[in-house]
Amino acid sequence: MTFLRELLAAILGVFIAMAIMFVVFMLFVSAAASTFGEDKKVVVNNNSILELNLEDEIKDYVPKEDDPFAELFDFEPKQLQLQEVLNAIENAKTDDNIKGISINTSWVNAGISQAQAIRNKLLEFKESGKFIMAYADVYDQKNYYVSSVADSVFVNPVGEIEFKGLASEILYFKDFEDKTGVKMEVIRHGKYKSAVEPFLDNKMSEANREQITSFLNSIWNEVVEDISVSRNKTAKELNIIADSLFTRNPELALQHNMIDGSLYRDEYNGKLKLLTGISEDDELEVVSVGDYISTGKGRIKSTASDKIAVLYAQGDIIYGEGDKEYIGQEKMIEALQKIRKDNSIKAVVLRVNSPGGSALASDLILRELELTKKDKPLVVSMGNYAASGGYYISCNADKIIAEPTTITGSIGVFGMIPNISKLADNIGINGEQVGTNAQSVGYSLFEPMSKDFERVTQESVENIYTTFVSRVANGRNLTTSKVDSIGQGRVWTGTEALQIGLVDQLGSLEDAVEVAAELAEVSDYRTTDYPRYKTDFKDSFKPFSFVKLSKEEILKEELGVENYTIYKNLKHFSQLKGIQARMPFIMEIK
């Protein structure tokens, strides 16, 4: 008995000690967080310059991190929310402490539609009479596009400006499949549904070349038109400059009025000092856009009781819960049900930035949107992408508003399954199947696709395509034959989509919110963001949770941004399940 009492006492003592340690640890966390919070406090002094450094990833939606360790150990991903950047620029217009803006960034880590939205907001800022200046050691095309809005654009004397037009490259794997015996079995509907084309051929089809040429020209024309106004040049002149690479060095760029001078950083800072009226020996007061947002300038203050809900559909569409990187029907349905129950929410704006994904998840989300639309006006705002599944969930809104450079449409579906039967034969592996019924075995990775399996899967693809077309026809008040003619998996820019009836007007997220307010007949309102994400507190204490928090930043650091993007894209394709309503390719426009 003595031993048992001592054992129980020891166990109890361990639990008490652990409880005390936990309380002490949490007090430490709270104190440290408070201390760090004081260190991070930003003060915007008089005569300050708002600096736009856009190298951190810009996303449509960056939910606030509620993991207690993410901020404490600086594991929060370095991201900016687009609307907060736009709001910061808007607030700077009337902020007496902000004298002007300096665009000072090596690149713009955003999609072309997001970049255009920032540029348009900078144009509005210029109406305040405050200055905008731009400087970089080297400009890529997206950076130059945004920076060209400035009163003056400067580059390092040994720098360069990339301005050569847009291009897209797609890799083809058919020969690789034949040589290795590893292939992708593909079943699709849509002659433009070229997500799977690289696995079926070793060169680009004419249909694919046609659509890529079309939307690249549409986006380029938009870029050229914006730059032509800011730099006082014609579109023809700008295309000659691009064709001849007349910005390949500062001298040529200055000669052709694409920049206003070549300076070193200290000389550029001298110009900023003159503009703010301080002496050469004084320090510039510079506040980064991220720090400016942290002071509360990332939102437009309002005491209105009525709300417009902005529901963000961001990332690939997957069947399941979804998270901050993927659109899952469970989180979207949960958010929409909460929105419907909230009487203070008068309308909904669905902000879509997605290349599509699971056809089933897309249909489930659309159904919940249709239920919401019966109660409250529903407006769609399209970002960089609203293609395939991204268009599927958009098609039945009261109004669809796209950016001119949005990539949308892609009304088509496909199924894709890996097969290694040829490789297995080459290395001496034989798979044998046993089943109770004619179709019980189904598909095997080690056997060629059977005619029966191909027939059934093709039937499923055709059924989903027919459903997709009917959903769009009903939502857009078009005939099914019309939708089929502009469907077939083809993608369009927002400008092109407006001409063929897939969207109602061109504009920004702010425009979409205004339209939603008009439909709801409210004039005094504020916005509220959905979905809401909450970290289960106990998850913070799981083994290696700190490592998981920083994994993305570590991979970016080790691989570089471009290689990390390739890694993410390959991972996405490896996780595709079921019939896909997805944009026809993964593409980075440069």
In terms of DSSP bridges, do strands 327-328 and 505-506 run parallel, antiparallel, or are they unpaired?
unpaired
Q: Determine which one of 147, 148, 354, 388 is catalytic.
A: 388
179 included as an active-site residue: no
388 included as an active-site residue: yes
Task: Write the burial class of residue 397 (CB in 10 Å: 0-12 exposed, 13-18 middle, 19+ buried).
Answer: buried
d(CA 52, CA 103): 5
Q: Phi and psi of 440, rounded to 5°?
A: -70, -30
**Token pair for 43:** 């003060």
In terms of DSSP bridges, do strands 356-358 and 580-582 run parallel, antiparallel, or are they unpaired?
antiparallel
Cis ω for the linkage preceding 531 (within 30 of 0): yes
d(CA 148, CA 62): 27
How many angstroms separate the most distant Cα atoms in the chain? 97
> What residues contact 20, with CB distance under 8 A and at least 6 apart?
none
Residues facing residue 532 across a β-bridge: none
Letter string b/e over residues 124-139, b meaning 16 or more CB atoms within 10 A of that residue's CB: ebbeeebbbbbbbeeb
Calculate the alpha carbon distances from 430 to 422, 424, 427 in Å: 10, 7, 9
What one-letter code names the amino acid at 147? S
Three-class SS of residue 427?
Answer: coil
d(CA 234, CA 531): 44
**Token pair for 506:** 């061109």
Beta strands in 413-567 (DSSP E): 413-419, 491-493, 505-506, 526-530
Quote the distance between the C-alpha of residue 355 and its chain's center: 10
Three-class SS of residue 61?
Answer: coil
> What residues contact 295, with CB distance under 8 A and at least 6 apart?
42, 43, 44
- Tokens 């008068």 correspond to what residue? 346
Which sign, positive or negative, has the C-alpha torsion 380, 382, 383, 387? positive
Residues facing residue 125 across a β-bridge: none
d(CA 183, CA 421): 9
d(CA 569, CA 82): 22
Q: Determine which one of 59, 142, 193, 376 is catalytic.
A: 193
Helix 509-520 crosses helix 82-93 at what angle (to 10 degrees)?
90
d(CA 195, CA 538): 40
d(CA 380, CA 313): 10
**Token pair for 435:** 């089943």
Q: Phi and psi of 589, rounded to 5°?
A: -85, 125
What one-letter code names the amino acid at 515? V
d(CA 531, CA 351): 11
What one-letter code names the amino acid at 529? D
By annotation, the residues acting in catalysis are 193, 388
